[in-house]
């Protein structure tokens, strides 16, 4: 059976490089890195299944992307999206693609993720880039139906780093809740992807696409690697303890 697969994370988990590895090993499959980018509008439907139809009906590129995926797998072409922006649509994907759906949960140390997201301008007003992603893709501490809504009371004093930590916390909690869905192939740690004699990135791709020979010696792909232009202000730890 031809499948459509998604590797879901919080961002900054080597997804661009994983897509490059998968694409080289599976030239007969359609492999995309964040196929629709932020245009999944995940923030608008996060934990709000009643909004799926409204958002889908308002955004033609989103409609076309899902129809494109359906057409590919119907015609026998496997599909793999390696990224994170479509995370909130997983309950919808589960119903729409049913037994054809495969997905994995990729997780990385929260402090490294938050620091990297901050360098990309997410929740960081000192960096101009990232505003649209922040507005329509990221999870905000005061969004409706977030799991950890208690932090909203102290969020005014959050640093950009802390806001990105909150995004990590919420998204990983959401993904843990999805593990019982059909098509889930497991949790994979960023820190173990390329380690050891049998790197787990090969296990991940074998389960989501099919077994293949993977070239792990090519130069790593990360076209948006950046350094932080200024130090991250120390977290407001006292507010987190309230």
160 in Cβ contact with 118 (< 8 Å)? yes
12 in Cβ contact with 113 (< 8 Å)? yes
Q: Per-residue pLDDT tens for 63-88? A: 999 999 999 999 999 999 999 999 99
What is the structure's pLDDT at 118?
94
Contacts of 89 (CB under 8 A, 6+ apart): 40, 42, 45, 52
The whole-number average pLDDT for the span 214-242 is 61
Look up the pTM and report it. 0.89
Q: Is the pLDDT of residue 46 over 60?
A: yes
For the chain, how many residues are written?
242
Q: What three-state secondary structure class fits 139?
A: coil
The whole-number average pLDDT for the span 90-95 is 98
What is the structure's pLDDT at 198?
84
């Amino acid at each position: 059976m031809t499948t459509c697969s998604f590797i879901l994370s919080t961002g900054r988990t080597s997804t661009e490089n994983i897509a490059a590895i998968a694409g080289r090993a599976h030239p007969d499959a359609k492999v995309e890195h964040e196929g629709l980018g932020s245009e999944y509008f995940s923030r608008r439907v996060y934990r709000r299944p009643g909004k799926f139809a409204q958002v889908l009906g308002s955004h033609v590129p989103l409609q076309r992307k899902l129809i494109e995926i359906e057409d590919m797998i119907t015609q026998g072409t496997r599909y793999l999206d390696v990224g994170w922006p479509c995370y909130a649509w997983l309950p919808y994907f589960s119903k729409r693609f049913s037994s054809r759906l495969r997905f994995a949960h990729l997780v990385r140390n929260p402090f490294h993720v938050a620091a990297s997201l901050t360098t990309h301008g997410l929740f960081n007003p000192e960096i101009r880039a990232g505003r649209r992603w922040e507005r329509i893709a990221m999870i905000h501490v005061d969004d409706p139906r977030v799991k950890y809504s208690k932090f909203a009371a102290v969020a005014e004093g959050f640093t950009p780093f802390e806001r990105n930590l909150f995004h990590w916390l919420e998204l990983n909690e959401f993904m843990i809740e999805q593990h019982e869905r059909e098509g889930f192939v497991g949790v994979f740690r960023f820190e173990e992807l390329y380690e050891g004699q049998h790197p787990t990135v090969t296990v991940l791709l074998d389960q989501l696409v099919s077994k293949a020979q993977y070239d792990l010696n090519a130069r790593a792909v990360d076209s948006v690697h950046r350094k932080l232009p200024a130090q991250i202000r120390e977290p407001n730890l006292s507010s987190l303890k309230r």
